[in-house]
Amino acid sequence: MSKTNAKDSGFTLTDNQTGKTWEFEGHTGSMKNRLIDIRSLYSTTGILTYDPGFTSTAACKSDITYIDGQKGILLHRGYPIEDLAEHSDYMEVCYLLLYGNLPSPEQKASFDMEIRHHTWLHEQLARFYQGFMRSAHPMAIMVGVVGALSAFYHDSTDINDPEQRQLAAHRIIAKMPNIGACAYKYSLGRPFPTPINSHTYSENLLQMMFSHTSEEYKVNPILAKAVDRLLILHADHEQNASTSTVRLAGSSGANPYACIASGIASLWGPAHGGANEAVLNMLDEIGSIANVKKYIAKAQDKEDPFRLMGFGHRVYKNYDPRAKVMQKSCHEVLSTLGIDDPRLELAMRLEEIALSDDYFLEKKLFPNVDFYSGIVMKALGFPTSMFTVMFAIGRSVGWIAHWKEMLGDGEQKIGRPRQFYTGHAKRKYTPVGSRGHTPNKVSWSWLWRGNKKNAKPKDGNQKPALAEKG
């Protein structure tokens, strides 16, 4: 148990079928957060817990990030996200997440220097891009290229060597902007960028994305500051889907590059990091304030798969504190750059209407970080398809911090969830010639159930779709 956890009075579980009781340890964390330690549940009772989506399950202990979803609080290593976004910079937040404390000036300078000197990509890795279609989504390229790093940097794949682990961590943080910028340049058919070591992390990111070989590129400090804040706001968010994916992949002893590639794949989905791209597409689809009410109604219709993208969160049942900072940043960026994007007005009207609507109030659905980040990125010049890449660049440090923490946690085991089996009981195999005849279907789509939003509750005795049809 971590130093900040204390055993408390514990819990008693009663089986109402038999009246049998069992005792389980309870723990109280540093923020008075409580848990039931059920690790011995199955071995002592033979009973499993059922928790799809892990809504009530802590899969690990962590000292990195704390969220109070009811109050809308987010702390990294104890520091409020608002303070970090206002006063810190991305490199410092990376150090904080990785090493646990804010760096001294010397530690900051040396960490900064270390990251700046790992920004290059191996020449052969750059050739790897040629295998992708020019029209490939940059996130598809990110998954492939980051996974491929393990084929290039063999001196940093031994997870049992702390030096190699650190080297891999620094390499990933350093190379992500370059890998992302190359994905963008590749889609345009332009030469790959060269990182400039005198630039800060965010300046370099902008320079690699938007400079041309034939023209001098001067980094606009206002844009660099906005990019830096965006990266800070995405740096970590405890056990979200992609971070849990990285931990799960890493729990088998997989190398760090493969683990981060798995995180990127998970992030891509529209319910997670892909939401920033989806928000912008949604605003374009809504088109004008006159249509807002229609789309608010669509989002509430259970027969309609439409959801208000950038709204709702598994943990926050209050305003996402990152969204508040992002909204402020959005106004600042647009006014400083003199951009009049009608999507901002549309987003604000959408937010206003949603936040006064009973459906959203009852379900406690508030704007999340992705609601305004797309408008900010658009103003900064990023194409929509690069939005989730920007999220991935910012989040890479969070993934690595959790991967590192997991490897150092003696209580962690290979991730291996259990299941509640609801299929057939044991049955006898029948040779194909002796089976009944069913007409062949042209398409296999009948094997798949419809979308989740329309799915009817499943009767416990119902047979799986495959068996029904076959």
Q: How far is CA 436 from CA 170, 426, 467, in A?
A: 61, 19, 13
What residue number has its CB nearest to ligand CMC? 312
Positions in 326-365 near ligand CMC (CB under 6 A): 363, 365
Quick one: which of 96, 205, 309, 392 contacts ligand CMC (CB under 6 A)? 309
CB 217 within 8 A of CB 207: yes
By CB under 6 A, tell whether 76 contacts ligand CMC. no
Nearer to ligand CMC, 224 or 308 (CB): 308
> At its nearest, how many Å lie between ligand CMC and the CB of residue 257?
22
One residue of 266, 368, 388, 396 binding ligand CMC per CB under 6 A: 368
In terms of CB distance, is 262 or 368 closer to ligand CMC?
Answer: 368
β-bridge pairing 73-76 and 34-36 = unpaired
Contact 183, 272 (CB under 8 A): no
> Residues 313, 320, 357, 402: which is the catalytic one?
313
| Residue 77 backbone zone (phi > 0: left; psi -120 to 50: alpha; other: beta) | left
Say which amino acid occupies 198: S
Map the footprint of ligand CMC across residues 105-134, applying CB under 6 A.
none
The residue written with tokens 């259970």 in the block is 302
Q: Least Å distance between CB 377 and ligand CMC?
A: 14
Minimum CB separation from ligand CMC for residue 325, in Å? 14
How many Cβ atoms from other residues are within 10 Å of residue 58's Cβ?
A: 15
* Residue range at the interface with ligand CMC (CB under 6 A); choices 58-66, 160-168, 303-311, 399-407: 303-311
CB of 260 to ligand CMC, least distance (A): 16
- Residue 284 annotated to the active site: no
Nearer to ligand CMC by C-beta: 129 or 311? 311
Q: How many residues bind ligand CMC (CB under 6 A)?
A: 21
Residue 313 appears among annotated catalytic residues? yes
271 closest CA partner among 452, 75, 73, 448: 452
Instruction: Determine the distance from the C-alpha atom of residue 54 to the mean position of all C-alpha atoms in its chain, rounded to a whole number.
Output: 15
Contacts 24+ apart (CB under 8 A), 422-425: 422/460, 422/464, 423/463, 423/464, 423/467, 424/463, 424/464, 424/467
Site for ligand CMC in 266-285 (CB under 6 A): 271-273, 275
Q: Applying CB under 6 A, which part among 128-136, 178-186, 289-297, 368-376 lies near ligand CMC?
A: 368-376
Measured between alpha carbons, how far is 361 from 311 in angstroms, rounded to an integer?
12
Length of the chain in terms of residues written:
470
144 is a site residue for ligand CMC (CB under 6 A): no
DSSP state of 72: T
Closest contact distance (angstroms) between CB of 78 and ligand CMC is 21
Q: Give dist(CA 155, CA 183) in Å, integer.
A: 25
CB of 264 to ligand CMC, least distance (A): 13
Is residue 237 a contact point for ligand CMC (CB under 6 A)?
A: yes
For residue 406 the two structure tokens come to 């997991």
Q: Which residues bind ligand CMC (CB under 6 A)?
A: 53, 237, 240, 271-273, 275, 299, 307-314, 363, 365, 368-370
- Active site residue ranges: 313, 370
